[in-house]
Amino acid sequence: MSAHPTLPSVDSTFRSNYQRMFDAIQEVITGKPEAITNTIVVLLAQGHLLLEDVPGVGKTMLAKSLARSVNGSVHRIQFTPDLLPSDVTGVSVFSPQDHKFTFHPGPIFANIVIADEINRANAKTQSALLECMEEQQVTVDSITHPLQKPFMVVATQNPIDSEGTFALPEAQRDRFMGRISLGYPDREAEISMLSTHHISEPLDALTPVLELDQLHQMIEQVKQVTVTQRLSSYIVDLGRATREHPYISLGTSPRALVQWVRAAKSHAAINGRDHVLPEDVRAVAPMILSHRLILTRRALSEGVEPLALIQDLVSTTPVG
């Protein structure tokens, strides 16, 4: 995080609540401060998060830590090849006594939903999340049921070349505000993990540090962060650059640009500012773009790294 003075609109209570949340999660997830920060950024920006990495690096642990730090409803869905859409959204059941159908909500009805190993479910079940994530509602038998607020999906998945996985379609990936890859912890973090995890599970000791009303207040403060026309133009120019780049076959959608703005506002707020700076836009760019950009065959054959390409785009596109 950048060191900037706290401004009046981002008060000390906001900063204190953010820090308590960060510290609580860091008790469980050691050595990954940037991943924790970006996870909270997405939560406060009212987005959804995709955690993608190899097995065993703490994806589910991070998702559970975030969920436990907030005193709201939490449901975990283990995605499997035989999971049905109705297992996620719910189902209408006919009652012989009342002679009518009664809706039984599925596990998607919660403040934070952990979609564990989402790419182990088939495409039909994955698509059950589309309406939920975009419109925060579920439609079953032509009846619409609103979801809880706030509502966030934190999905984990293994790389698409892992056995028994189904790649998320572009429409599904685009609904995730950000994608984070944890990577392996450094040596010191692994030593610390070995010295504590064999005695007790840190997640068991994690208790909520935020009530739902406090989270609502933080989300409202993020909405009040201002974005100048100059920075809006900068984000649009970055988005257009991804669509015109010779190494990119599919660039960012207008939805992605809207989510980019929201993430930049959240990043500015946790750094104590009531306005977005270019550094906020650049800081969240990797998690906003990494799961959206599809590289050309030429780029893949030349070994172009997506993150290096993103850094090149944000550094070479002028501001205003």
Q: For residue 222, tell me if it sits in a domain.
A: yes
- Same domain, yes or no: 39 and 184: yes
CATH of the domain at 269: 1.10.8.80
Residue 85's domain comprises 74-175
- Same domain, yes or no: 248 and 304: yes
pLDDT on residue 2: 42
CATH of the domain at 119: 3.40.50.300
pLDDT on residue 6: 45
- Same domain, yes or no: 152 and 223: no
In tens digits, the chain (320 residues) has pLDDT values of: 444 444 445 678 999 999 999 999 999 998 899 999 999 999 999 999 999 988 888 899 999 999 999 999 999 999 999 999 999 999 999 888 888 888 999 999 999 999 999 999 998 999 889 999 999 999 998 899 999 999 999 999 987 666 677 888 888 999 999 999 988 888 888 888 787 766 677 888 899 999 999 999 999 999 999 999 999 999 999 999 999 999 999 999 999 999 999 999 999 999 999 999 999 999 999 999 999 999 999 999 999 999 999 999 999 999 97
pLDDT on residue 9: 54
- Same domain, yes or no: 38 and 122: no
The count of structural domains within the chain is: 2
- Same domain, yes or no: 37 and 95: no
pLDDT on residue 7: 44
Is-contact 113 102, C-beta < 8 A?
no
pLDDT on residue 198: 65
pLDDT on residue 12: 85
- Same domain, yes or no: 269 and 295: yes
Q: For residue 52, tell me if it sits in a domain.
A: no
Q: For residue 306, tell me if it sits in a domain.
A: yes
- Same domain, yes or no: 150 and 183: no
pLDDT on residue 3: 42
Q: For residue 55, tell me if it sits in a domain.
A: no
- Same domain, yes or no: 43 and 78: no
Q: For residue 69, tell me if it sits in a domain.
A: no
- Same domain, yes or no: 79 and 162: yes
